[in-house]
Amino acid sequence: MTKIGVVIPTAFTRPEYLPLAHDSIAQQAGNFELKILVGCPQEKLNEVKASLPENAEVIAESKFGGLASKLDVMLGSLSECDYIAW
């Protein structure tokens, strides 16, 4: 079966939409690997995780590097996928 890797990068300016984005992708038919890159202070990371399903993979973005380097880290963290979207 085709596997699709999906990365959701967020600047944490509208955190209320993260659960909706996660659920929208998770409810699609298919084999997905979904990761969320959150640009928020470390102390808010637990709040973000609490708003998402237990199995959601949430990673705090590094303070270093721009968007390209952060996406590189996220895309590199996906297992072998046939397609990747962000």
DSSP 13-42: S-GGGHHHHHHHHHTSSSEEEEEEEE-S-H
Residue 24 pLDDT: 92
Confidence of residue 82 (pLDDT cuts 50, 70, 90): very high
CA gap 72, 58 in Å, rounded = 16
* pLDDT tens, position by position, 4-52: 998 888 777 787 888 999 999 889 888 888 888 887 777 778 888 888 8
**65 alpha-carbon distance from chain centroid:** 18
Whether 56 shows a pLDDT value over 80: the answer reads yes
Encoded tokens for 49 = 């995780």
CA gap 81, 86 in Å, rounded = 13
* pLDDT tens, position by position, 8-17: 887 777 878 8
Q: Residue 67 carries which side chain, given as an amino acid letter?
A: L
